[in-house]
Structure 1
Amino acid sequence: MCGIAAILWAEAEDAPTAEDAKAAKAAVLKLASRCGIARRGPDSLDACVPAPHVALAASVLTMRSKGDARQPATDASGNALCWNGEWFQGGPAPDAADAPAVLALLAEATAGAPDAETAAARAADALAASVRGPYALAFYCAAARTLLYCRDPFGRRSLVVRGREIASTAPRDDGAGWTEVTTEGVHYVGGCAAWHRSFFDGVGWPPAGRPWREAGPADASKTLGVALAASVKRRCAGLSEVAVLFSGGLDSVVLARLAHDALPADATIDLINVAFGERRGDAEKAPDRLAARSALRELRTACPSRKFRLIEATAAPGDLARIADDVAALAAPCSTHMDFNIAAALYVAAKGEGVLYDGSDADHADGGDGEHRLLRYATDAPREELPDLRADGKCRTCGKAAKARCVSGLCGGCCRRKGRSDAAYACGAHPKRLTYAEKCARADAPPAPPPAVVEKAIVKTRARALLLGMGADELLAGYARHRTAFKRGGLEELEREVGGDVARIATRNLGRDDRVTAAWAREARYPFLDEDVVRCVRMDLGSSVADLALPPGDGCKRALRSLALSLGLPLTSTLVKRAIQFGTRIAPFSNRLAFGAARRGDGAASFDVAKLVAGARRVADEAS
């Protein structure tokens, strides 16, 4: 993995001459510094000036042990390449540097190209036909005397542009005007050569009018398992350590389980779990924290010989205020409050630093039985399917407005009166409140002694590769909108919704995620977005990936749930999905800081660092 910076001067402008290459090199290194390129690749940083009007710089995070990994890579013909990616299939050996191989591929494809448009078209065809894996690149084509740049068709690596400046991330001091490079094809000044259609036809965009085929659940699980296992194996090849962004949910636990099969027996798998809380102990109740601890027990049972380390990273208001500016700068040009929430969770995870959870029963927030009310499984009664006991929306006792989810179909007052008269009665929609007498008794009682604080040592993962489950919900119908589409129009409408999600993967947020993750010199790897996995799901499995007639935790992502069950993960296979911003509790946490209350939060609003920092100060003052 590497960081990229490039500057292209118009030849008609007063650009550095060939004799002034030193000044051009200094200019591109200055841009690299402003963009924080060295953070992405701490092993080396260098620059080259292949032509009087072009300067390239690259930092390198060495992931392969053999070959010349220094960049920019150059050849005798005057071509130069900054490569940020992994050629997983059909390229060099897993332990050999792939930048020289990509340079040779592009040099051969563009040899003799008379102009930029021709060079870009040839480069696009060569990349689409040969390279399988995530990448972003900047390539100076000596034959056409032009700079080409692009991201892979799925957009798994970041690249941003402003005018004639290109970089992996926008500068912190002046991020205005920078936009993400589109994934339409290979760009050059003034145009873009589109990817060849055969790439998309081969990796997941079925021809128009093709019916979504049926397959048996057992066959679907087996087929998906083979493709996903191969994807994980490719992303673990040559590694002695790997980390997993570990929410304890279905996607991340399956990845950790498959990583066990792919890695050497003595390799450590670090499971990085993130949670946010305003007070000490709040993070212990975050759904993702509880799920991760439960999943750790399942993984250790299924893989007793493997060393799994659950590293629990926790952020308090002060922590979030300290990192807010850095997170916002890295996420740019993605700038909404929701972008910040997700980016902050990834930022804390990618740092890879936290307390090591040893799995002792004394530490279980759920009492050691592996269950907790915040962990919802398919065996639980789905909330939307609870019977509506109201009479025309009114309380059955007094006639006031009642809640549909009240177990007795009552309004709040009647429900709580019933609870006071019946100690065994409980209602989640109307939880019991303390009476005035109970509040007075509690106020008069001496305060309970504060719990003993046991400081635990902080550990940090050494893994440079971080496996993430992005793409699983888009491919396997894991979002609530997929269930809505199925209810609205059956399989046909569901296929349209899933197809649209797959087509939008490249333009959504993978660039943001790469920028945030790479800031800690870790390479994000997405096994679910492997070309073969996408093709398998879209072309081979069809409607068998999900059965949305079944309840949440059972029907959504059904093929993956069946795979988890076959891998020895019975509880995980039925866990209901939670989005990262809610599972980690960053959304209500940051909403209270930025908007004053969790329910006032607006994910689509522009993120304001000053408001969040002011909110953190307010919380600190209240606590003191």
Structure 2
Amino acid sequence: MCGIFAEILGANIPPLPNWPFWAGTKPKLLLSPPSTGSGYTSSLPSIENLLQRRGPDDFCSEVISLGDSATLCLSQSVLSLRGCQEKRDTLETDNRLLYNGELYDDIWLPDDESDTDKLKLYLQRETESEALTPQILDRLQGPWTIVYWHAYSKRLYFAKDRIGRRSLLLRVVPGRKLTLSSVAPKDDPTGFVEVPPAGVAYIDLSGTPEFGLYRRESFSVVPRRVLSLFGEPESDHHTRLVSGSTVDMYASFLPKKWLRSLDSTRPGMMTPEQSAEEFISFFIQSVKRRLTISIKPRKTQARFAVLFSGGIDSLFLSVILESCLPESEPLHLINVAFGKDSQSIQKCPDRITALQGLKEMRALCSGKRRVEMLCVDVLPNQADFALVNSVRHLLHPCDQLMDASIGTAIWLASQGVGYRVNEDLQVSSEIMRTSARVLFSGLGADELMGGYKGRHRTIFEKGGIDGILREMDADLSRLWFRNLGRDDRLVCDHGREVRHPFLDEDLVSFITRLPLTDHVCDLSKPDGVGDKLLLRRASRMVGISQLASSRIKRAIQFGSRSRHVLERKSNK
């Protein structure tokens, strides 16, 4: 399943409670109703097409009467990657599950069976005598969002995994309706906010409608100097943390064991070289979990592709992914670059490093696999047209210039249509379209291993180890509203799914247990050496050259020049 939608109409919906917290929008926008009249009518007609783009294989919808003219509409679209889903009536239950995700624990395998159906049975069993709580859902390994209607208690539950790797938006029009959706309507996204991974939220309709929340344990990752400004103890501060605040403040709903600033003592049980070897092993297992797919491999069609800049994150990911695939299966790399003309596009930093990375990939494969790269070339008018007509509503509630430049690049790359790179590493005029339904992303490497060289280095110089530990905890804790929901909406708009092997739970647990200096990152060393030290060391161990493993990070909006092109276009 890929697109989910649930809406309650005709009930006296209360205002949003003061939970921590609705990200990506200013607090005043939470009180902004949608356009005149739409608060009384169904949102589905304006969202249905967007849901079907996310899940092109199937779509179904159902309306459940709640009494007194109130209704609950449940809709879902399907991108079938894990076997055929059983019909709902075979499960003999009045409960309903809307689910978007992939579950990787052994109990959800094999990959030719529907994890949706297994999850339905699991939730039915676990909620027979108790409420749906984080303790039940946090046993699930993998990215997921769910909306679950429990008929007996008349509760509509909604939640996402602790990292927040899938999009789920919420809008409440007090007294009128509540809407949950994977994506906001194109014509009127006002008031939609990203559901935080704070626990399991619900609205109880057994009497007077009221919201409730079974909270996950939360931790403050706010520097103490910031806390002192408010004169409040740290333990009370998570209820004040709102994204969009003028102060850099974040609550974390991640497991305590992942938060290095809460316990900076990490025993050095391994040498740095042993840490890198173990990292490779954990990463291979992470990639193998994410090869779960019911589509059988073919010699002529790729099932998987990588969003590829040639930087150390995507290159290491591609090398490991290639080693895990059946030998006869092709692998596609997708590179996007922006410019005023074809010549300037080929000079983009990310285009140059991508072609260099492709050369390394082909050398490491020794001709045993067909590794192909398609180049998405974007001119200014194309970039502006995509942003205005296809991207901006998918970004919401992320609405900064940075989101626009990153989002336009990701959306155009995820289309999977570009020019083929030939055997001589020249970009040809032949149009190529990837058949891959799963795109791999290197997101998470920078957050886990100190890869934001400018910001991380500045904080390290001013605040030392304690400062950078707090900042890296904050980076990982805010991924759900800065990147993950947005990127899920952008990639899935093309009927594909994005998978993040750097954000595998076991891998995150391993990296965050390592001593920071000498093992993970050492920001006293130069760029390209000390940042992402663990990843650079591991890259050399798997055969990546010294030159490639020492490349300095470039954010996608700068490496692809999407920001430069969009800024010039907007200034004209």
Counterpart code for 1:175: P
Instruction: Give the one of 500, 503, 524 matched to 2:477.
Output: 503
Contact 1:271 1:308 survives alignment (8 Å)? yes
**TM-aligned CA distance change 1:73 to 1:522, over 3 Å:** farther
On the 8 A contact 1:243/1:271 being kept in 2, the answer is: yes
CA deviations 1:368-425 (Å, max 9, x no partner) are xxxxxxxxxxxxxxxxxxxxxxxxxxxxxxxxxxxxxxxxxxxxxxxxxxxxxxxxxx
Contact 1:28/1:55, CA 8 A, preserved across alignment: no
Deviation per CA, 1:326-367: give whole Å up to 9, x if none: 110111111111111000000011000000011416x38xxx
Could you say if the C-alpha distance between residues 173 and 69 of structure 1 is closer, same or farther in structure 2, counting changes exceeding 3 Å? farther
Structure 1 residue 563 and structure 2 residue 538: aligned? yes
Question: Which of 522, 526, 535 does residue 551 from structure 1 map onto?
Answer: 526
Amino acid in structure 2 at the alignment position of 1:149? F
- Cα displacement string for residues 438-472 of structure 1 (whole angstroms, at most 9, x for unaligned residues): xxxxxxxxxxxxxxxxx712111000000001111
Deviation at 1:180, TM superposition (A): 1.0
Match of 1:175, SS? coil
Corresponding position of 1:574: 550
Q: 2:61 maps to which residue?
A: 47
Match of 2:512 among 519, 538, 549: 538
> Which amino acid is 2:380 matched to?
P
Contact 2:98 2:147 in 1 (8 A): yes
8 Å contact 2:313–2:445 — kept in the other structure? yes
TM-score normalised by L of structure 2: 0.80
- Cα deviation, residue 497, structure 1: 1.8
Shift of 1:555: 1.1
Q: Is the 8 Å Cα contact of residues 272 and 312 (structure 1) preserved in structure 2?
A: yes
Alpha carbons of structure 1 residues 261 and 226: separation in structure 2 relative to 1, 3 Å: same
Q: Partner residue of 2:442?
A: 469
Consecutive unaligned residues of structure 1, counting only runs of 5 or more, are 14-25, 114-118, 365-454, 597-614, 616-624
Deviation at 1:533, TM superposition (A): 1.1
Alpha-carbon distance in structure 2 between the residues aligned to 1:74 and 1:11: 30
- Aligned amino acid, residue 142 of structure 2: G
Amino acid at match of 2:491: T
Amino acid at match of 1:2: C
Q: Give 1:267's match in structure 2, choosing from 329, 333, 353.
A: 329
After TM superposition, give the deviation of residue 12 of structure 1 in Å. Answer: 6.0
- Alignment pair present for 1:75 and 2:96: no
- How has the CA–CA distance of structure 1 residues 157 and 309 changed in structure 2, closer, same or farther, with 3 Å as cutoff? same
Q: Match of 1:506, as an amino acid?
A: W
Q: What is the distance in 2 between the residues matched to 1:28 and 1:74?
A: 29
Q: Give the counterpart of 1:494 among 468, 472, 477.
A: 468
Contact 1:467-1:524 at 8 Å conserved across structures: yes
Contact 1:274–1:312 (8 Å) recurs in 2: yes
Please point out which of 200, 215, 222 is paired with 1:194.
215
- The answer as to 2:383 corresponding to 1:320 is yes
The one of 591, 599, 615 equivalent to 2:567 is: 591
Question: How far 1:206 sits from its partner (Å)?
Answer: 4.8
Shift of 1:547: 1.8
Task: Compute the TM-score of the two structures, normalised by the length of structure 1.
Answer: 0.74
What fraction of aligned residue pairs are identical, expressed as a percent?
34
Q: Secondary structure at the match of 1:577?
A: coil
What letter is aligned with 2:93?
A: S
Equivalent positions of 1:131-280 (< 5 A) are: 131-163=140-172, 164-189=178-203, 190-195=211-216, 200-201=254-255, 204-206=258-260, 208-214=262-268, 215-238=270-293, 240=297, 241-280=303-342
CA shift in 2, pair 1:263/1:58, >3 Å: same
Per the alignment, do residues 590 and 32 of structure 1 end up closer, same or farther by CA in structure 2, a change over 3 Å counting?
closer
Q: 2:77 matched to which residue of 1?
A: 59
Cα RMSD for the two superposed structures: 2.2
CA offset at residue 196 of structure 1? 5.5
Q: Residue 344 of structure 2: which of 282, 305, 325 is its match?
A: 282
Kindly provide the CA deviation profile for residues 193-246 of structure 1, in whole angstroms up to 9, marking residues without a partner as x: 113579944762358344144453201211211111110111113463200000
Partner of 1:93: 110
Q: 1:463 to 1:358 in 2, by over 3 A?
A: same
The alpha-carbon distance between structure 1 residues 548 and 179, as it changes in their structure 2 partners (threshold 3 A), is same
Q: Structure 2 CA distance, aligned partners of 1:561 and 1:109?
A: 44
Q: Check if 1:527 corresponds to 2:542.
A: no
Residues in 2 aligned to 1:191 and 1:185: alpha-carbon distance in whole angstroms: 10
- How far 1:320 moved relative to its partner? 1.3
CA distance in 1: counterparts of 2:539 and 2:89, whole angstroms: 42
What is the deviation of 1:109? 2.0
Paired residues, what number?
482
Task: Flag structure 2 segments of 5+ consecutive residues without an equivalent.
Answer: 14-40, 173-177, 204-210, 220-252, 298-302
Mapped pair 1:340 → 2:404: yes
| SS at structure 1 position matched to 2:442 | coil
Give the one of 420, 430, 439 matched to 1:457.
Answer: 430
Structure 1 279/210 Cα, relative in aligned 2: closer, same or farther at 3 Å?
Answer: closer
